Chain A
Amino acid sequence: MSTSTVEEKKKDAPLGGRFIGATSNYIDERTSLSGFIKELGRKVFPDHWSFMLGEVALWSFVVVLLSGTFLTFFFQASMVETYYTGQYPLMRGIPMSAALESTLRISFDVRGGLLVRQIHHWAALLFVAGVGIHMLRVFFTGAFRKPRELNWVIGFVLFILAMAEGFTGYSLPDDLLSGNGLRIIDGMIKGIPLIGTWTSFLLFGGEFPGTEIVGRLYTLHILLLPAILIALLGVHLMLMVINKHTQFAGPGRTNDNVVGYPMMPVYMSKMGGFFFIVFGAIVAISSFFSINAVWHYGPYDPSPVSAGTQPDWYIGFADGALRLVPPHLESVFWDRTWSWNILIPLAVIGIFILLVMFYPFIEAWITGDKREHHIAERPRNAATRTAIGAAGVTFYAVLWAGASSDLMATHFWLTMEGVIHALQFLLIVGPILAYFVTKRICLALQRKDREIALHGYESGRIVRLPGGEYIEVHQPVDEYERWKLIAHENYAPLVVRPNERGRISWHENLRASISRWFFEDRLTPVTNAMLDAGHHDEVADAQHIAEGKAAEIAAQDEKKH
């Protein structure tokens, strides 16, 4: 080290000042933090609004954690009988569990307690909704393809964990509504063959409702489930960092790059800002809208029940599945009871969940495409996948609607029997209809895109050519717009060929049939020749019109002079 370098160093102050410099140095010498900053500090993220939906879920989860932590300082997860002696007259003196009593105390006797309780519950609803809509975005843009299949599975498990968190959470106050929800879960568990009765017995620590369940749900809700959730969330985000985010096709964007803004400062600011907006929105909603008024429901007792008993929205599809089952579905074989009215909805939901969870692998098997995919597809360009997604969403939505069948009857002046029969019908017919309509719409949109890419937009200007014909002038799109319209994968159905033994295996045949279903209806891939031909037409038309106009103007000028 020469003296000259030391003097130079003294002249140039460190970035951010001497204190910041010294602190950074101290930390780096102990943690290698500079490596981390170098890798990730200016990491580029692509920009599209649909990429922020996962953040809705992430930031809602942070809000849930913060508000939940506050509540744990006041909530008593015990079913020991006590009496409420606080502010609310209608509950005063009523015997209830310590869980409900502490919830009422938080709501009425702690300043800001009701606000935090409402923040916690609204944020939980938003969390699961955020996960759902994020999942839909990932599905419809094909962002679950290699190398992100595992992340899809992790994400789906997160969805299930979020639902479990919500369910265990709203059952904690031990009020009439959530208590009846537990009763329903208990009834479902009891209907499971072989292990049902004993599982219910172990879960509730004896008969229903027992005195253990709230404490056990509390352990799940604040310890086990959040721990697993946070761990998986960490893996989910790490995989996203390693794989980098997908991006939509566009100018300068290829499968091997990411185009966007750097983490510091732009994305830090956008993501951080979005966190505050999500948080602020939740607090604003909680200031003006009441949620889960447990004081109306009162303590759980097996005798009373409220009209309009529904679970929180994300459990609705399961409740709806139970409601849509036709009557009398139970049989007794060999002295054992088979509750088909429980097993069928469980099986249907289970199969649905498995199909969704393993869809990336199914599609990968069909296409056999083992390349990495980092370009997010526009839904219209994967018509069959989008149609399948629409069918799945319809199926889920009909089950979800089933949960409010009685409310639909009262609000729309219908009979509940009519509503339920209609939903039973829609459960089968709806997804099929949605599939066909969506697929046709996607293909039509593809054709429209092709039309615009090759021939431009219809500008609305009608021009009469010298020969007498009328044409509508098409406005060509610029090369950036055109690229977005034509940049997509093209797949064709599998043509089976016999293997070296001269045979075609059954699974190759199956794969061929499914690939035909997937890719039979498609457009011819765009080539440069097609683009040139289209461009040529446009240019010819435009030139023609320009020439004609120039001639007209020249003629007018001549007349004038």
Chain B
Amino acid sequence: MATQKHRATKSAKAPRTGRRSPWAAAALIGIGLLVTGGAYAGAMAATAAAGPAETSVATSLTTEDGKKLFQANCATCHGMDLQGTENGPNLIGVGAMSVDFQVGTGRMPLQAQGPQAPSKPVQFTDAQITAMADWVQSVSPGPGMPEERYLDGQGDAGRGAELFRINCAMCHNVGGAGGALTEGKYAPALEGVLPQHIYAAMATGPQNMPVFNEMYLTPEDKRDIISALMWSYDNGTPGGYTLGGIGPVSEGLFIWIFGIGGLVAVSVWITAKSN
């Protein structure tokens, strides 16, 4: 009897020589993740910081600078004189507004061919974009930048919301949450897009977006639409989190996963035997 007990305690307190702690594996994985993750994050930060060109350069650039920037970054696909190549369309008549939109939302320079050009981190400073836009405008005139007052968001938001619903909601969703188009294309979500880019998109019809010219949607109309969007995004929606703003699909998923899931968990608790 005594020997049994002795053996039991001995095995319980045997020194762990050369045996790994059960936490060792977890700790190793954790350290590994931290190191690789930290290295990656650091590299990302470094490249992000290095991104757009030197900030010490003077803030205003000339059209000649714009030409150089264009020919260095864009001509491979769009041609030295905007004539286009087999890799990219010609830019005859696109105007400064198009350049400001495409480059200002990061869509250009295009990273890879695909169903459409996604917006991504902007590669140029505002001054560089303006320079390129000026140059393109000078070579082949097109829509120029709109007046500031059309971008102030002080228009008739109610009227703008109605115009948005008729002209824009079918692709971009009533709340601007975006939507699907054919063959992998999509209308992007509009939250966070600058008023000048919203205006430019309407006016220039990038890629497959239709063109909403000034005769159809006057600058005042466009101002109202932008005001409606700005109001919605600035004020949010009462009632709580919107679950993505895409309506019944996310609401249904939510109620099944959290509603039913939670209540099943509660049922298990209710019927479990008390200890």
Contacts and interface: CB of A to CB of B under 8 A. Distances in A.
Complex A–B touching at CB under 8 A? yes
B252 A290 contact: no
Q: Determine the main DSSP class of B at the interface with A.
A: helix
Given A89-B231, A415-B184, A281 B179 contact: no
A133 B263 CA distance: 11
Interface string A294-338: 011110010111111111111010000000000000000000000
Nearest to A122: B255
A50 B187 CA distance: 44
A309 B170 CA distance: 9
Interface stretch (B29-37, B77-85, B238-246): B238-246
A144 B189 CA distance: 48
Given A49-B268, A52-B270, A308-B247, A410 B186 contact: yes
A126 to B, nearest CB: 5
B89 interface: no
Interface in A280-297: 281, 285-293, 295-297
A437 to B, nearest CB: 22
B252 A312 contact: yes
B61 interface: no
A176 B174 contact: yes
Interface string A405-426: 0110110011111100000000
B248 A90 contact: no
Contacts of B242: 289-290, 293
A560 B3 contact: yes
B259 to A, nearest CB: 5
Interface stretch (B132-140, B155-163, B198-206): B155-163
A296 B187 CA distance: 18
Interface in B218-257: 228, 231-232, 237-243, 245-249, 251-256
Contact of B178 (A90, A278, A307): A307
B166 interface: yes
Contact of A313 (B181, B246, B251): B251
A90 B268 CA distance: 46
A163 interface: no
A202 B171 CA distance: 34
Given A125-B255, A287-B240, A310 B260 contact: no
B95 interface: no
Nearest to A287: B240
Contact of B166 (A90, A114, A303): A303
A49 B241 CA distance: 31
Given A125-B255, A310-B249, A281 B262 contact: yes
B264 A53 contact: yes
B241 A285 contact: no
A287 B241 CA distance: 9
Interface residues of B, number: 59
A122 B241 CA distance: 14
B264 A49 contact: yes
B39 interface: no
B243 to A, nearest CB: 6
Contacts of A126: 255, 259-260, 263
A406 B179 contact: yes
Contacts of A281: 259, 262-263, 266
A407 B249 contact: yes
B239 A410 contact: no
A91 interface: yes
B180 A410 contact: yes
A94 B162 contact: yes
A293 B180 contact: no
B183 A417 contact: yes
Contact of A417 (B157, B182, B259): B182
Interface in B175-196: 175, 177-184, 186-187
A274 B256 contact: no
Nearest to A556: B3
Given A92-B158, A298-B161, A125 B259 contact: yes
Contact of B169 (A52, A286, A304, A313): A304
Given A89-B158, A130-B260, A415 B239 contact: no
Given A129-B255, A316-B252, A407-B180, A306 B174 contact: yes
B270 A270 contact: yes
A118 interface: yes
Contacts of A47: 271
B183 to A, nearest CB: 5
A410 B169 contact: no
Contacts of B177: 307-308
A250 to B, nearest CB: 13
Contacts of A177: 174, 247-248
Interface residues of A, number: 75
B171 to A, nearest CB: 6
A406 B255 CA distance: 21
Given A56-B260, A277-B266, A290-B237, A298 B165 contact: yes
A90 B158 contact: yes
A177 B263 CA distance: 29
Contacts of B183: 415-417
Nearest to A414: B184
Nearest to A91: B158
Contacts of A289: 239-243, 254
Contacts of B174: 176-177, 296-298, 306
B267 A52 contact: yes
A48 interface: yes
Interface string A115-128: 00010001001100
Nearest to B255: A125
Interface string B79-97: 0000000000000000000
Which interface residue of A270, A311, A407, A557 has the most chain B CB atoms within 10 A?
A407
Given A296-B175, A307-B179, A407-B249, A415 B166 contact: no
A306 B164 CA distance: 10
B251 A125 contact: yes
Nearest to A117: B239
A304 B170 contact: yes
B180 A312 contact: no
A182 interface: no
B128 interface: no
B208 interface: no
A196 B181 CA distance: 32
A556 B1 CA distance: 11
Contact of A404 (B173, B186, B232, B249): B249
B113 interface: no
A291 B258 CA distance: 15
A107 B170 CA distance: 25
Contacts of B249: 308, 310, 313, 316, 403-404, 407
Contacts of A210: none
A307 B171 contact: yes
Contacts of B262: 281
Given A107-B238, A290-B238, 20 more contacts: A52-B267, A56-B263, A90-B157, A92-B158, A125-B251, A126-B260, A126-B263, A129-B260, A177-B174, A274-B267, A274-B270, A281-B263, A289-B254, A293-B239, A293-B242, A296-B232, A307-B171, A308-B179, A316-B249, A416-B184
Can you list the 7 inter-chain pairs with the closest CB atoms, starting with the nearest?
Answer: A307-B179, A313-B252, A290-B239, A406-B180, A415-B184, A49-B267, A304-B165
13 contacts: A52-B267, A118-B240, A285-B255, A290-B242, A292-B247, A304-B169, A306-B169, A306-B170, A307-B180, A313-B248, A313-B253, A409-B186, A416-B183
